[in-house]
Amino acid sequence: MQNNMYQLPKDHLRHASAPAIRTMPAHEAVIEVLKEQGVDTIFGYPGGAIMPIYDGLEKVPHNMTHILTAAEGGAGHMATGYARASGKTGVLFVTSGPGFTNAVTPMADAQGDSVPMVVIAGQVARSLIGTDAFQEVDATGISRPITKHNMLINDPARLVSQLRQAFRLAADGRPGVVHVDIPKDVQNADVTFGPDDHAFMSPGVTSLPENYHAAVQMMRQARKPVFYVGGGVINAGAEASATLVRLLNETGFPATSTLMGLGAYPTTHRAHMGMLGMHGTYEANMAMHDADLIIAVGARFDDRVTGKVKDENGKRLFAPHARVIHIDVDPAEMNKIVRADISLYGDAAYALHNLREAWRAQPKKPAKSRLKNWWAQINAWRQVRSLDIEAPNGEDIRAQHVMMKLGEHLVYLPDYTVATNVGQHQMWAAQYLPFKKPRQLMTSGKVGTMGYGLPAAIGAKRARPDAPAIMITGDGSWRMNTPEVETACRYDLPVKIVMLNNNSLNMVGQWQRGFHGGRMSQSTFANSSKDFCAEFRAQGSNAKAERVSDPADLDAAMKRMMAYDDGPYFLEIKIRNEDCLPMMPAGSVHNHMLLSPEASARLKGLAHG
């Protein structure tokens, strides 16, 4: 059997000049390892059990920046935003007890969305573990289900090697979170620090060449193929995205993206049918349903994409006519939800390269004539224009128009990042904003964390200081973000915040109206007189804020926001309260969609035409 092992890209390996072997306190060795790993930014919040490591930050010469946040939760999301925007591993420092538990949600969020992060947590001294000591919790027990790996370092002699291993594990294969719990007395023990002699190569499972040739034969036979693209392509680096674009151009196949896959190829590409799934476009969901071949790349058939997969008799309802080629770096994702006809294991850059080479090697058959009818059908579905809404009436502002207007400002920028909270605004941003390249969208996918947006935007701005950082939020999610405004002010990070204010938790409200008999239980902020702008300005002299309620004022306000770079800018926009559509109801089949009145009328007209 051919050995088809794949060497990780060089940026996953840290080959610093070999340090001399020396003895030092463990808390100093932690800083030396971070330097060795190429860390330039640490996010965190000090406390009793991690004080020695913070002391190491002062004792050891380094060029790293530590961002002191308002709370550990914000620090964790900043590390995630930094990692997503940069492609590097995020680093988080927290203390024991509540410091660690405040970081649990960011850890679960990063793990769920395959973001590399190393969490270095202080722990009470070894003699106190298990005694219910002050600020002691079973951190490794708590973190086990929400991390890729965790370790409690009881032996000081193993600290350096285990911390190095943590960075390797976080970035290798499917990225994730590694939690390193270090008791306080271990931090103060003397350890040996020397060269890292463990050159690292991913031992991940890969597929044999004949599997790629079989996949290409399937692709050349297909009459209704679809590329289904997920966040694994973005995690695999720029070359994965570039190879995917080449394949789209060479095959002529249509493509659709998950929420996490937006930006893996330009959303302006002619093959792009829009995002698919619960709030995906009509054409994307219909194409997936009617496809005879799905090439899933770095996607995991999440329930928000598939809807109801099988009926009570086991008959497949999701893409019932399609054969499936599944590319993924994580073997555990294969056949978990949808059974693949061909499974191609490996990093997406490696797998897409092999797939393209196999495509180019086989005798070429004209694809345009074979796909002519398929593209005609897709273009007919596109005529429903499921995201088009009525023109502004001059009386109120619709969230969709806000996103369209923001998109007009972004499309001409060479680079930018967009971070969102979770709710209707998140879906509107995904539906309407342009994403031209990988690592432009920071959003909480698997866990759906409402307090994610602002700290993620701060982390992204720290990672890419020359790229404007825009954050999209609703008023409900924003209430979970306000402590970190002061962090942005303190570090002069000009994050631009667009808040869509309908005075409600309207994604909850949408479900209550549609699926809970209209019983609006605790989804509106009744009698709220909160002045968001005044509260924002109070966080720092460089914080600017304004409110817009007249559609005629929107464009000028957005220009002012985009032009301001001396600190954070807050643009509160009062919007109409309405549903986010299209929508695939939970538990429904993925081609059964609720459309806007405008799109429904167009669909009816096309059917009668």
| Average pLDDT of the segment spanning 504-527 | 90
Cα–Cα dist 150/108, whole Å: 13
pLDDT of residue 506: 86
CATH of the domain spanning 209-382: 3.40.50.1220
pLDDT of residue 7: 37
pLDDT for 605 beyond 60: yes
Question: Do residues 426 and 472 make contact, with C-beta atoms less than 8 angstroms apart?
Answer: yes
Residue pLDDT, tens place only, 285-326: 999 999 999 999 999 999 989 999 999 898 999 999 999 999
| Residue 198: band (very low, low, confident or very high) from pLDDT cuts 50, 70, 90 | low
| Average pLDDT of the segment spanning 535-564 | 96
pLDDT of residue 6: 36
**pLDDT > 90 in the chain, percent:** 85
Catalytic residue check, 315: no
Closest CA to 56 of 187, 196, 194: 187
CATH superfamily, domain 10-193, is Thiamin diphosphate (ThDP)-binding fold, Pyr/PP domains (3.40.50.970)
pLDDT for 335 beyond 50: yes
- Options 3.40.50.970, 3.30.1390.20, 1.10.760.10, 2.60.120.380; CATH for 399-574 is 3.40.50.970
Single out the catalytic residue among 5, 134, 372, 515: 134
pLDDT for 64 beyond 80: yes
Single out the catalytic residue among 28, 72, 333, 572: 72
530-to-435, 487, 540, 553 alpha-carbon distances in Å: 33, 21, 18, 22
* Side chain identity at residue 337, one-letter code: I
Catalytic residue check, 135: yes
pLDDT for 390 beyond 70: yes
pLDDT for 99 beyond 70: yes
| Residue 395: band (very low, low, confident or very high) from pLDDT cuts 50, 70, 90 | confident
| Average pLDDT of the segment spanning 593-600 | 92
Residue pLDDT, tens place only, 443-459: 999 999 999 999 999 99
* Side chain identity at residue 37, one-letter code: Q
Closest CA to 201 of 3, 2, 4, 6: 6
CA atoms within 13 A on the CB side of 554: 26
pLDDT for 155 beyond 60: yes
**Residue 498 φ/ψ region, left for φ over 0, alpha for ψ in the -120 to 50 degree band, beta for the rest:** beta
Residue pLDDT, tens place only, 350-371: 999 999 999 999 876 665 678 9
Single out the catalytic residue among 51, 135, 520, 525: 135
pLDDT of residue 15: 43
The domain spans of the chain are 10-193, 209-382, 399-574
Structure tokens belonging to residue 486: 């002061």
Single out the catalytic residue among 148, 184, 461, 496: 184
The model's pTM? 0.93
Catalytic residue check, 507: yes
pLDDT of residue 11: 41
94-to-7, 48, 483 alpha-carbon distances in Å: 33, 10, 17
- Is 399-574 the same fold as 209-382? yes
Question: Do residues 468 and 416 make contact, with C-beta atoms less than 8 angstroms apart?
Answer: yes
Structure tokens belonging to residue 163: 């911390």
Structure tokens belonging to residue 102: 């405040």
| Average pLDDT of the segment spanning 461-480 | 96
pLDDT for 601 beyond 80: yes
pLDDT for 123 beyond 50: yes
Residue pLDDT, tens place only, 399-423: 999 999 999 999 999 999 999 999 9
Single out the catalytic residue among 78, 334, 507, 583: 507
| Average pLDDT of the segment spanning 341-354 | 94
pLDDT for 97 beyond 50: yes
Question: Do residues 325 and 297 make contact, with C-beta atoms less than 8 angstroms apart?
Answer: no
Strand 190-193 versus strand 22-25 pairing type: antiparallel
pLDDT of residue 5: 34
Structure tokens belonging to residue 581: 């559509």
What is the phi/psi pair of residue 37, to 5°?
-80, 0
| Residue 590: band (very low, low, confident or very high) from pLDDT cuts 50, 70, 90 | confident
What value does the mean pLDDT of the chain take? 92
pLDDT of residue 1: 30
pLDDT of residue 527: 76
